[in-house]
Every structure is written in structure tokens, then in C-alpha cells.
Amino acid sequence: MQTNTLTAPILREALAASFRKLSPRAQFRNPVMFVVFVCSALTTALWVQALAGHGETNTAFIFWIALWLWFTLVFANFAEAIAEGRGKAQAQALRGARREVVAKKLASADRASAITFTSGADLRIGNHVLVEAGDVIPGDGDVVDGITSPASTRT
């Protein structure tokens, strides 16, 4: 099941999150990005000092360095927010798929026992299901009887 998880709402939320993540508290969680954050702030302060006429080099040069540092920080936050958004969208798609899957619930652990067709969302710990070739696996669990192969897990 392949879904397009890079949608306009995800991009909009990622763009907003990339600026929300500029807080020092959020940046402190990632040491590398925190160093870039501190350097961005210091370079911006040096640029303001240069604007006041006390700079040690060309004001435009300091401005462009500060701008590149801030761009790096925002872009890294944006990429992280996209990854989070895609992960949440994929998890939601999997939760939705779980509700739609029909499971062949067995009355007991015996493969020959009576089969009841039920929703994958209604399965509970201790239930036994019959999964045959080509069936969608209705939930997480252990193989009690039979085998599986890596080739059977490809989509």
C-alpha cells in the first residue's frame, strides 16, 4: 500500500513548524543545530554592530553569512518537520487500513476450527487468525502454525 504522504497540508504544517522550532529549547535537543543556532544569533549581532558603524568588516559580508546560517537552520527544521509529517501520515494510513481489513478469526488455535469473519480492528490479544497466500495480515502477532517468507511480505 503506497500512499502519497507529501501533500500540501503536510508542507504547510512543516513550513510553520520550521519556524516554531527556532526556539532555543527546541534547538538544544540537537547539539549540532544548537551550535548553528548560537552562531546564527552571534553573527546577526555582529551584523547589527556593523550597521551601527562598529563592524570589523564589510556589513554586506556579515549579513550574507548570517542569512546563510539562518537559512541552514530553517531548512534543517523544515526537513525534520516534513519527515515527522510523513511519518504521522503513514501511521494514520496504516491505522485506517487496519480497520478495513477483514480477518478470518479462528475459534481456537486449531487450523481446522470454525472461522468467523471479523474486522481487523476487533482483534484482541490471544485471538488466532487464518492467513492464507495473498491475504492481508490483519494485525501484529506471532506465527503459531505454518511459515512465512520474506518474499511474501513485498507489496
pTM of model > 0.85: no
Secondary structure E strands in the chain: 102-106, 115-119, 128-130
If you search the block for the grid coordinates 546560517, which residue do you land on?
Answer: 69
The answer to whether the beta carbons of residues 65 and 42 sit under 8 Å apart is: no
Distance CA 79, CA 85 (A): 10
Domain spans, the chain: 8-99, 102-153
The answer to whether the beta carbons of residues 142 and 127 sit under 8 Å apart is: no
Q: Which residues share a beta bridge with 117?
A: 104
Could you list the pLDDT tens digit for every one of the 155 residues in the chain? 445 667 888 888 889 999 998 889 888 988 999 999 999 999 999 999 999 988 788 999 999 999 999 999 999 999 999 988 888 888 887 777 656 778 888 888 888 889 888 888 788 888 889 888 888 778 777 778 877 776 555 44
